[in-house]
A and B are shown apart, each in its own frame.
Chain A
Amino acid sequence: MKDYVKIIAIVWKDIISEIRSKEIGGSVLVFCLLVVVIFNFAFQSDEAAIGLVAPGILWVSFTFAGVLGLNHIFAAEKENSCLEGLMLCPVERHVIYWGKLIGSLIFMLVVEAIITPIFLALYNLPILLPGLALIIVLATLGFVSVGTLFSAMAANTRAREIMLPVLFLPIVIPVIIAAVKATGLILDGEPWGELWTWLQIIIAFDVIFLVISALVFEFVIEE
């Protein structure tokens, strides 16, 4: 069986189990929305200030929701001893990584696709922004690349819900910085020049950490 077939099998398994159990999708969505709303009260309702902090609010809410979603990737596997089952399959370890990565990427993108228009509407910002979609996809890819690795790690420790953010938030700080800056530029309608620098950072991060995470993943899930 080709590798990509195995990867699709893993992705499909995750999608089906999520659709059937509805364990995490709904609550992550609601949580994300709540964070967006609560941040509104954290800042004075000053029109000019909102423009400055809006990108930050969006990405903080994605980060928090992301941590919840990422925790789930391996927590459920661990609880039901499915991880051993996965490892018994005749697949190379990095195939599991790619499968889990794509599954959580799809999950995060669905959440973000729903939240972003609502967010833009709540803060009275222009809604149709293809550039924003590009940033969100690339930055989310960076998030889940290290997030999947650390989710597997945290699932095997005590206090796993808190270990994941502690482990992975410092690592994704460059992505958050770049994503917030780039989002701010897009919302202000800036030209592509400066935006490209930030996109380059996100893309570089994605490439570097996708490769590294895929390489070291096997060390994390081995028994």
Chain B
Amino acid sequence: MTEQARPPTLEMRGITKRYPGVVANDHIDLDVRPGEIHALLGENGAGKSTLMNILYGLATPDEGQILMDGVPVTIRDPNDAIDRGISMVHQHFMLVPVLTVAENILLGDEPMANPIFLDRVAAHDRIRELGKQFGFEVDPDAKVGNLSVGWQQRVEILKALYRQANILVLDEPTAVLTPQETREIFAVLRQLTSEVGTSVIFISHKLYEVLDVADRITVIRRGKVVGSRVPAETNEEDLAELMVGRDVNLTVDRGESHPTDIMLVANEVRVNDDRGHEVVHGVSFEVRAGEIFGIAGVAGNGQDELVESITGLRRTTGGTLTLAGESIATASPRELHAHGVGFVPADRHRFGLVLSFPLTDNIVLNDYQSEPYSRGLVRDADAIRARTEACVTEFDVRTPSTAVPAGTLSGGNQQKLVVAREFGRDLKLLILDQPTRGLDVGSVEFIHSETIKRRDKGTAILLVSAELDEVLELSDRIGVMYRGELVAIVDARSADKEEIGLLMATGGKVGSDATKKMTTELEQAS
């Protein structure tokens, strides 16, 4: 399967890529041998997708080199990548929903009956052929938008196979698949590598899958390679430790919490996403006044929709939500605000701020219509300015004045502005969604300490974050969200970081024993 004598099919040396404020890839080295399945493992934001985008020509590295079969190459755009036999299956499908399977597969590489017209017959034949070879019979004339997610994934893979890829990159391919579909995809991958000699790069954050299917595993954390393993020589705990790191950066002393009355109760809450699929499957938890309940989990497991349903921006499809005993499932954002609910949204540019408006307008975004900020139609500019200045001072928002547009503030100060607005009232319940994403250390520290202060004043706080460190640092109790379910609720004092990391990545349902069972099944199938 691997030949030591030949140069690696692909080598990426010292790849570095910087974006404003963060180093996405920090001198990353990677080599992939012919016919191997090489897994890239890491948390959200670790830099895996950036690296592959560079490989596929969707981004250019600031430093570093790419070599294929030992020869340095430049890849400027996807066409270059495709010409060199690199095919990529993106995490968010690059499929056009209104076109058919055949049309999606052929796009860019169409077989022509003559200079103008497509040779649909040839295309159909080739697609069916490929499908048979690898075990999926897909109807070339079906509209992709009507296919299930699992089948769409297969179409994406067929796209790559159709182009006879030498190197196939799969970005989180099993994120949306059922275990059954996952097994089938893995069988295809093995067939590809052993029969055809394709090399596969498999990006994932799912430990057991990676252990299952990869020949080699490279772990990336915060933009750097932190380790390389062979599955036989490692296990889930080892990988989890590499992924999340052992040290927890404690920036604040949490102190003891003194929870009192139950504030927020979620009971069997179900929520759909924008496409109508259920993404929150009966979640139940409660948050008491004076405590911080943190929900940990990889982004995309239903947290956004859950938070939106609690804050009145999305309807629930089942279950109940109550605040201090009153149902809030159908409450509007304004009603919730009046009931003492504060919300720091994950996307501050969308729900949190109006970037072109001055700080003053942003501070009163939720209160502009009530006294003292306005009386009927007339706004009281002085009252608004006074409140803004108080907020700016109290929350240390660095700004030359309160009249500048919010968009001129740095990310950290923008977030502090939102926090100032939401924190600066008597609150029963405070919801924080990714509150420190992309912020500098100073702002993070500040927001964390303010959060603890509010907790001690008796506010019930719900924290949702993909940053495990943050959740561990602030929460009194921790829940782990995986595929739309709350798979565990633990006391923070006794929580083990690696254990939680494992829960985030596996849902706790698949442990080492189950992994072994799956491996055996697959071996028997192939």
Are A and B genuine complex partners? no
Question: A-contacting residues of B (Cβ < 8 Å)?
Answer: none
Question: B-contacting residues of A (Cβ < 8 Å)?
Answer: none
